[in-house]
Amino acid sequence: MEHTEFAPGLMIAGVTLPLRQRDFKLIAFDMDSTLINIECVDELADAVGRKAEVSAITEAAMQGEITDYKESLRQRVALLKGATLAQIEQIYTERLRLNPGAQELVAACKLAGMKVLLVSGGFTYFTERLRDRLGLDYTRANVLEVVAGALTGRTVDQPWGDICDGDEKRSMLLQTCTQLGIAPSQAIAVGDGANDLPMMDVVGLSVAYHAKPAVRERAMVSIESGGLDRLLELFVR
């Protein structure tokens, strides 16, 4: 997609400006490296001395070099075996930070009447805390199996399936649109990795945030410098 520079570090393609917030009823965010500053699975791996190994798989998956996201996540979760709930809590309190502009963008969208969805290939331990912290309306993520206060290296199957991959992100977004009685064209999707592309491809406005090259190329908006709230520069009230 051919992009033009709207402002320094803010690229657009196929977007008719100005955008109006009232035209959108839902915004969906990826979590890791989009809404927050870390890849939670990599930080969990650090707790058990396996960060390099897990980070390499994560990077390949986000670049789109590994096409089977579910299998890549199973491999990574297996390497987390033995991490304790105390270590996970420490990651949340000491390492996890909202990315710049995240709180401002969420607040502005909520003020404009949009619902907010968080869809993640990460874990409910983190998405549920972010939901409560930011007042998010919907979340979907993977559940880590815990026995005796430590991870078993497996995820727990959910009614919707086993692992939240790109197809599940798209499915959850479309399901939420149906629930709200809106068209996908009235939704915004924000992400940074290859597993965000399925949901970004079906919405009215796709936004890449400091994203991998393949994601920047296909997004309608690419935020390449500054915070998430730079998206608001494209909107009028």
Q: Report which of residues 237 and 43 the model is more confident about.
A: 43
Q: Which of 30, 165, 196, 229 is catalytic?
A: 30
8 A C-beta contact, residue 186 and residue 112: no
Res. 46 pLDDT band, cuts 50 70 90: very high
pLDDT over threshold 80, residue 220: yes
Whether residue 85 lies inside any domain: the answer is: no
pLDDT tens-digit readout, 71-84: 999 999 999 999 99
Supply the pLDDT for residue 169.
98
CATH number (domain holding residue 210): 3.40.50.1000
Count of CB atoms situated within 10 Å of the CB of 181: 8
Supply the pLDDT for residue 237.
66
Supply the pLDDT for residue 66.
85
Whether residue 195 lies inside any domain: the answer is: yes
Look up 46 and say whether it is catalytic: no
* Range(s) of the domain holding residue 215: 4-37+99-236
Whether residue 43 lies inside any domain: the answer is: no
Whether residue 187 lies inside any domain: the answer is: yes
Supply the pLDDT for residue 1.
81
Of 83-87, 206-210, 233-237, the range with the lowest mean pLDDT is 233-237
CA dihedral in degrees (10, 13, 17, 22; nearest 10)? -90
Supply the pLDDT for residue 189.
98
Whether residue 129 lies inside any domain: the answer is: yes
pLDDT tens-digit readout, 160-184: 999 999 999 999 999 999 999 999 9
Q: Which of 32, 42, 192, 196 is catalytic?
A: 32
pLDDT tens-digit readout, 119-160: 999 999 999 999 999 999 999 999 999 999 999 999 999 999
Supply the pLDDT for residue 219.
98
pLDDT tens-digit readout, 48-62: 999 999 999 999 988
Whether residue 168 lies inside any domain: the answer is: yes
Whether residue 156 lies inside any domain: the answer is: yes
Q: How far apart are CA 84 and CA 16, in angstroms?
A: 49
Look up 132 and say whether it is catalytic: no
- Give backbone dihedrals phi and psi of 116, rounded to 5 degrees, phi first: -125, 125
Two structure tokens written together for 34:
């989009």
pLDDT over threshold 70, residue 225: yes
Tell me, what amino acid is at 150? A
Two structure tokens written together for 26:
């839902």
Whether residue 55 lies inside any domain: the answer is: no
Tally of domains in the chain: 1
